[in-house]
A and B are shown apart, each in its own frame.
Chain A
C-alpha cells in the first residue's frame, strides 16, 4: 500500500498571502494524484487531478505541481473561503489512499 504523508499538519497563513502544502508518496505514483478541499460538515471537493490540472470551477489561484513522490499544492492570494483541510490522494495502484490532511488556518 502506498502511504501518503502530508506536511505540515497545520499551517497558519494570513489572508492575501500564499500557502504551500506538501504531499509525499512512499513510492512513485507518477502524476496520478488528486487534491481535495474539505470544510467542516461538508464532503470533500475535488480541486486538482493529474497532479496539476484544476477541476471544473476551481479558481486559478490554486495550482498543483510534482510527480513521482513529491507534490505541492499552492494557493496564492488566500481568500477567507480557502481556510479548510486539504487532502492529497493517489490513484496509481490499488488501494488508493489519502494523506492525513493539512489544516490551513487563518493567522
Chain B
C-alpha cells in the first residue's frame, strides 16, 4: 500500500526558507508524479507543483519564483523548498501522488496526512 509522510519544521521565520520532505513507501518515486499541495487555515486547496519523469518539475505560476521541488531516488523521498516566506504561506502542506495518463499528470490518488507550517517570528 502506498503511504506518504511529510516532515519538517512546524514554524518558519518570515523571509526564511520553508523546507519539507515527503517520505514515500509502497511505490517508487521514479514512477508516476509527486506533488505538493497546501491549504491555508479555513481555506481551500492550492496545488504548488509536481515532479516526475527523471526530475521534470512544474510549478504554479503564483509561486514559481520561490519554489523548488526535488526528488532523491536513493531515499525514495521528494522535497519542497519555498523561500522568502510570509504569513500568507502559513498552511497545512500535503504531499501526494499523482497519476500520469499519456504523459499528463492527472488526479491525486494518495495523500500524506499533512503537516502544519506556521510563518511567525
- Which of A56, A95, A99 interacts with B47 by CB under 8 Å? A95
Cα distance A97–B104 in the bound complex, in angstroms: 15
**Known A-B contacts A43-B112, A43-B113, A89-B45; A95 and B62 likewise in contact (beta carbons under 8 Å):** yes
Please determine whether B107 and A97 come into contact, CB atoms closer than 8 angstroms.
no
B60 touches A (CB below 8 Å): yes
With an 8 Å Cβ cutoff, the count of chain B residues facing the other chain is 21
**Interface-located stretch among A13-21, A44-52, A65-73, A76-84:** A44-52
Please determine whether A91 and B44 come into contact, CB atoms closer than 8 angstroms.
no
**Known A-B contacts A43-B113, A55-B109; A91 and B104 likewise in contact (beta carbons under 8 Å):** yes
**Closest CB of chain A to B98's CB: distance in Å?**
8
Residue of A nearest to B94 (CB): A43
Cα distance A35–B109 in the bound complex, in angstroms: 11
Residue of A nearest to B108 (CB): A46
Chain B contact residues, CB within 8 Å of chain A: 44-47, 58, 60-62, 94, 96, 99, 104-109, 111-114
Chain A contact residues, CB within 8 Å of chain B: 1, 32, 34, 36, 42-46, 49, 55-56, 87, 89, 91, 94-101
Those 8 A-B pairs whose CB atoms lie nearest each other, nearest first = A43-B111, A34-B107, A49-B107, A98-B45, A95-B60, A91-B106, A100-B44, A46-B109
